Every structure is written in C-alpha cells, then in structure tokens.
Amino acid sequence: MRYGEAGFILEVDLSRGSIERVETDPRLTELHLGGQGTADKILWDRVPPEVGPFSPDNLLIFSTGLLHSTPVPGANRTVVNTFSPQTNLHAHSLFGGFFGPELKHAGYDKIVIRGKSPSLVYLWINNEKVEIRDATHLRGKGCQETAALIQKELKQDKAQVASIGLAGENRVYMATIDHSNSSAARGVGPVMGDKRLKAIAVRGTKDINIARPAELFELCLGLRKEIYENPRCGDPMAHEDDETFHLDNFAWGNARVRKKGYWNKELEEKWGALTRKLKDRDTSCYNCPKDCHAVINHPGRQRYALKCFNKLTYLMAAHKELDFNYDILGVTQEYGLDGFSTPQVLAFAIELYEAGILTDRDLQGFPTDVEERFFWLVEKIVRREGIGDVLANGVYWAARQIGKGAEEFDHNTTKKFEQVTIKLGKVNPPYFLMIATGEKMNITQIEGSYPQDPLPTMEEREKFVRDWVAVPDDKFKKMFLEWEKRNELPFEASCAICDWNEIMHYIDDAIGLCGFLSSFRGQFGGRIPYHTHNIPYIISLATGMELDKEGLWEIARRNRNLVRAINVRRGMRRKDEKPPEDHWKVRDPEMETKLLDAYYEFKGWNSEGIPTKKTLDKLGLDYVSEDFLQRGILTNNEGVSSEESSAENVEN
C-alpha cells in the first residue's frame, strides 16, 4: 500500500485526445519526495532543451505535494511546472487553495499535460472518469466566472477548478492560472493558454492512507494550535493596516522612487477603514489555521481574494491610493494577470510614453488620467491589441521590440523576469547571491529562513538564538551572534545563508507546505512551525519513509541541482546570473565576482555555475552528468566547455 500518496499520474495528451492513468515508481518518491521534485524528473527525462515553451512537446505539470491530503496543517500548495516563454527556462509556480488535495483524493499525484488541443477545452477529472470537454462557450470568461460556470454545468459544486482568463488564452506572459483564493504566476498561464486548455476541474472521493495515523493526527492537533497562535507565521499583511514596510521601503512607479516617510497615521486610518468597508471576510486555504486571504467586494466588481503584496503593487506602480488598487484588482484577477509583474509592465509603458519613446501613434486614444491609463493598457494587453501585443511579452521583450532606447527603461529584470521593486543602498552579499543565482524568478521564492537584519544588542541576539528552534546547524547561531551590520557578512556565512534559504523552499515545493508556515517566514522572528528538525519525522509518520534531517537535506539538494541542470541544458550560464544593475546604489564588482565564485564552489558547481560531475554523481544524478558530458556541457577534466552559451541565445 502507498501511504500519503495516490501512486498514479494522469497523463493527458491534448493533441491526440488521449488520457492515461500511469502507476509511479515508489523509488522516485524516495529520491525526490513529490511535488516539484518528481515533476522536474519528468521535465528532465521528457522535454529536451530544443523544445520551446510553445511547442506541443512542452509539458505542463500540476503536482500535489507529498503531504497533501494528510492531516498536516497548511499542506495545500499545488506546484505547476513547465518552461516559460518569458525566460525560456524552468517555470516554478505555486498556488494554494484546495486543488492539490482534491486531485490526490481523485487518485492522482500529478497531471502531466502534453500537446495542444485544436480548440479550447477543459479537463474534467471525476475519480477514474476523465474527460476532455469542449470549452468554446467559456472563451473570454473570467477565471472565477469560469470556475462557477463549470461547477454549474457539471452539477458539481464540490469540484475544484483551476482556470485561465483572457490573458492566459491570449498567451500574455504575465498570465496566471487561478484557483479559489490563489494564483500561479511566472510563466505557467501562457503555456496553459497555448495548449488551449481553459480549465481543469477535479473531484475526488477516495481515501488517502496514513502510515502511522494516530501519532500523526495527534501531532497535527498540536501543530494547528501552535500555528493559529503564532503571530510570526501566516501572511501578516493580511491583517495589518500598517503598510510602512512596503510603502516606505519599496520603489514606486517603474521601480524608480522610494518614498521614505510616505506612510503616516492618517493614511493608516483611512486605508484601514476602506479595507474594513470592502472586506467580506478572511479566508483560508485547505486545512490551514491561518486566514491569509481577505475577500474584497469592491462596488461594481466581482468578489476576489487578496493575495499578499498584490494589495499594494498597482497603487505603487501608479502613484495612487488603496481604492485604486482594490478596484483594478477586480478587473485584473478575472483576466488572470499576475499582480507582481503586470503593474511593472504598466508603469514601464507609461514611462516610455512620458519619455516620448511610445507616442500617440502607438497609443491611440490613450487617456490622460493615470488610473484610466492603467485600465486602458490592461484591456490592450489581455487582448494583445496594438501596443498591448508588445507589452504582453513583459518588460524585457517589450523593451527590445520597441527599441529606440526603451531597453534603458528595462532596469528591474533578472533572467528576463520582472523582480520585486526594491532599490537599496549598499550591496548585501547573501541577497546578491539569492537574486543572482535564484531560478524561481522572484526573491520571495528564495529568501526566507535567515533573518533579514541583525539585532542591535548582544543580549537580544543571545535571546534570539536561544529560542531559534528552526536553525538547521549551530553555525548559523554563531553567525547571528557575530553579525553587526546588515550588509556585512563574510563570504562563508553569505553562501551558507543563501543555501539554507533556498533549500527550505525546495522542501516545501516537494511536500506542498505553504511558505508562510515554513520557508518564507523564518526571516521575520525565527519562530516557524515547520523546519528541518520536525519535517522528516512528519514525512515518516505520513508516508512510512525512513527519513532524518540529513536525508531530507540531501533530497532537497538533489531537487535543487536538477532544476539547475535543466536550465543549464537550456543554455543558462554565469552571465545570466546578475541582479538588476541598480538594485543597489553602491556596488562592488570585484567583491561580487569573488563571492559568486565562492558560492559556486560551495554548491559544487564550476565557475560557470554548472554542477560538476562529482556533485551530480554524489546526488545520484549520474544520468545528468552523462548527458552533460555527451553534450560537451561538462568535459572529462571538469573544466568548462569552451563553447560560449547563454540563455540569451536560445530562441523561443
């Protein structure tokens, strides 16, 4: 009997219209756990590097986490993986809600989608009964509207639906896949649209078995209480009216201006009152004792759930106030547009217009009011009309298509992807490494375990490390005690911090835990419910797998190196690994070069950022090193291939 997992994958080929239920090898669970870990094994095996994101041979994979459908609170994040048209690299995306657990109860750990349908369709999974159904009547419908219409026509109000809006249908690069109170961004929406798959609806009524049930259930009752009562986990933005952190520290407009001192008590009262007026309730994801998603009911718009920093991204891009943000979200969420990257594209377009690079000829009928301009541009982008067809490719590609100096205005992308709008003073070594070498295109998916700032007094530091249960190794306590200035950390510490931070995310991606209870929240106060000390035991109770901290860490390293290998095989090299030029005002190129060298060495990668044969073989990724040798990516002396390569050169 398989514990904690269904043991089957659903293989769907939309070109052929075929559907297969395939049993999985339990050995893969031991090597990769599940979720993104096992999805990446499939991507490595089945999608060769010459396959473009919009090729029918590209795969779109929806994975449940290993702990979905167990009693473990907060295990509900579904991971979506494919190749992104924006970066031509591995796409990593997560969404919460209820979809993953429902899929597992239907009897599948994953859905692997290949091919392209000749016309718009949706997939209906009702336990063993799986159908590809016509969706032409859903063309242009909003994400949540689509979900409701499908539930109604199937007479299945308990079916969980993940869908795309008009943005996804038109392959807008900022398109999301939406489900309930959550969205998956960063490249997966346009691929779903390209496959002409409007939605997936799933209903599952099967048991998931637990290896050591009574112990796990009891443990989870305790965890629930701890999570509910712990103010340092979950999304604190969901319940705070104080927006100092983001408004005073993040950059406004096209990631240009910091407005220190913008926030004040008067605004806090005004915005707080507006939120209370428009908010229906706070909602949770499946089996989670946190309620991070406020439901906003803005006059004239359909209800929608707030997602984290989305509350502020549009207003900051437009230099406006909260009401505008709540209003435009009512539109963009139904179109299925990502609230992180889209506002930057809009602000970028307005900057180009103000600089005379985009003119009235490009933007016929462009309003004068900034808010109206945002709404106007959104309509053009989701329909790919006129300039919208260019902007729909994101800042990096739009800048190059527009030309005439527009490239200069693309100042906040890394690996062709819009970054969080932070512009700071002096280069910060661990953050340099995280932004440079991250392959998830957003710092929030890399940072998270080690605190962002030192504590001022030794007394406070000592107290902090005393209570620091989550720390995987005592060396981090020493680092923290010796840490005086934010931007001053030795190379060794910076490498170890970057490594720990990202490893936690790779664990969450495989088991389906929410980062707000685990990988993302430790950086604020250190007290998190899930960490490398208790996760192995929890996995053992749920699945029966023998696992300890070292074993867990090794699996996460294997999964992390597999993502790197997938991207390296597609051409990613050292020269792609750089934070936006102006992320810090004061840079230190010599130090940065040495730091990156040190980090590559720490990770067992060569000077081009390619995992060495030794590193790969030690992790059981021999098949990767063999492939690298055959392709000349690695040579037998482990030096770097002389062949120049870069993700820049690979065509979509």
Closest to another protein by CB, 284 vs 612, is 284
Given 44, 95, 98, 374, the residue binding another protein (CB under 8 A)? 98
Q: Where are the alpha helices (DSSP H) in 409-490?
A: 429-437, 458-466, 475-482
**Residue 116 interacts with another protein (CB under 8 A): yes or no:** no
Residue 544 CA, chain-centre distance (Å), reads: 29
Residues 481-540 that bind another protein (CB under 8 A): none
Beginning with the edge strand found earlier in the chain, give each strand of the sheet holding 18-23 in spatial order. 18-23, 8-13, 110-114, 60-63, 78-83, 90-95
**Residue 610 interacts with another protein (CB under 8 A): yes or no:** no
Task: Provide the 3-class DSSP secondary structure of residue 610.
Answer: coil
CA distance 426 to 316: 23
DSSP-assigned letters across all residues of 310-332 = HHHHHHHHHT--HHHHHHHHHHH
**Residue 557 interacts with another protein (CB under 8 A): yes or no:** no
Name, in order, each residue with C-beta under 8 angstroms of 317's C-beta and a sequence gap of 6 or more: 252, 253, 254, 343, 344, 346, 347, 374
**Residue 100 interacts with another protein (CB under 8 A): yes or no:** no
| Residue count (the chain) | 652
**Residue 73 interacts with another protein (CB under 8 A): yes or no:** yes
Given 55, 126, 244, 302, the residue binding another protein (CB under 8 A)? 302
Closest to another protein by CB, 126 vs 487, is 126
Stretch that binds another protein, among 205-213, 350-358, 371-379, 583-591 (CB under 8 A): 205-213
Helix (H) or strand (E) holding 648: none
**Residue 303 interacts with another protein (CB under 8 A): yes or no:** yes
Q: Among positive and negative, which fits the CA dihedral 180, 185, 190, 192?
A: negative
Stretch that binds another protein, among 67-75, 240-248, 434-442, 511-519 (CB under 8 A): 67-75
What is the closest distance, in whole angstroms, from the C-beta atom of residue 472 to another protein in the complex? 28
Residues 144-203 that bind another protein (CB under 8 A): 144, 148, 157, 180-181
**Residue 66 interacts with another protein (CB under 8 A): yes or no:** no
**Residue 69 interacts with another protein (CB under 8 A): yes or no:** yes
Name, in order, each residue with C-beta under 8 angstroms of 632's C-beta and a sequence gap of 6 or more: 641, 643
Closest to another protein by CB, 289 vs 343, is 289
Are 291 and 284 within 8 A, CB to CB? yes
**Residue 103 interacts with another protein (CB under 8 A): yes or no:** no
Are 518 and 528 within 8 A, CB to CB? yes
130: tokens are: 């799986």
Name, in order, each residue with C-beta under 8 angstroms of 230's C-beta and a sequence gap of 6 or more: 527, 528, 529
Residue 625's nearest CA partner among 611, 642, 608 is 611
**Residue 286 interacts with another protein (CB under 8 A): yes or no:** yes
Closest to another protein by CB, 6 vs 402, is 6
Q: Measure Cα distances from 321 to 241, 264, 313, 496, 507 in Å.
A: 14, 13, 11, 40, 38
**Residue 204 interacts with another protein (CB under 8 A): yes or no:** yes
What is the closest distance, in whole angstroms, from the C-beta atom of residue 168 to another protein in the complex? 20
637: tokens are: 């002396």
Stretch that binds another protein, among 13-21, 52-60, 276-284, 523-531 (CB under 8 A): 276-284
One-letter amino acid of 374: F
Are 149 and 134 within 8 A, CB to CB? no
Closest to another protein by CB, 154 vs 650, is 154
Given 206, 246, 319, 486, the residue binding another protein (CB under 8 A)? 206
Are 347 and 378 within 8 A, CB to CB? no
**610, β-bridge pairs:** none
Q: Please count the residues of this chain forming the interface with another protein, following the rule CB under 8 A.
A: 42
**Residue 289 interacts with another protein (CB under 8 A): yes or no:** yes
What is the closest distance, in whole angstroms, from the C-beta atom of residue 29 to another protein in the complex? 18
Closest to another protein by CB, 230 vs 523, is 230
**296, β-bridge pairs:** 279, 304
**Residue 213 interacts with another protein (CB under 8 A): yes or no:** yes
**Residue 224 interacts with another protein (CB under 8 A): yes or no:** yes
**Residue 214 interacts with another protein (CB under 8 A): yes or no:** yes
CA distance 77 to 85: 23
DSSP-assigned letters across all residues of 21-47 = EEEPPHHHHHHH-SHHHHHHHHHHHH-
**Residue 333 interacts with another protein (CB under 8 A): yes or no:** no
Closest to another protein by CB, 213 vs 272, is 213
**Residue 343 interacts with another protein (CB under 8 A): yes or no:** no
DSSP state of 640: B
Residues 383-442 that bind another protein (CB under 8 A): none
Closest to another protein by CB, 222 vs 639, is 222
**Residue 225 interacts with another protein (CB under 8 A): yes or no:** yes
Given 138, 172, 208, 377, the residue binding another protein (CB under 8 A)? 208
**Residue 644 interacts with another protein (CB under 8 A): yes or no:** no
**Residue 280 interacts with another protein (CB under 8 A): yes or no:** yes
CA distance 549 to 535: 8
Stretch that binds another protein, among 53-61, 194-202, 287-295, 435-443 (CB under 8 A): 287-295
**Residue 324 interacts with another protein (CB under 8 A): yes or no:** no
By rule CB under 8 A, what string of x and - marks binding of each residue 226-265 to another protein?
--x-------------------------------------
**Residue 284 interacts with another protein (CB under 8 A): yes or no:** yes
Q: Which residues contribute to the site for another protein (CB under 8 A)?
A: 69-71, 73, 98, 105, 144, 148, 157, 180-181, 204-210, 213-214, 216-217, 221, 224-225, 228, 280-289, 291, 295, 297, 302-303, 305
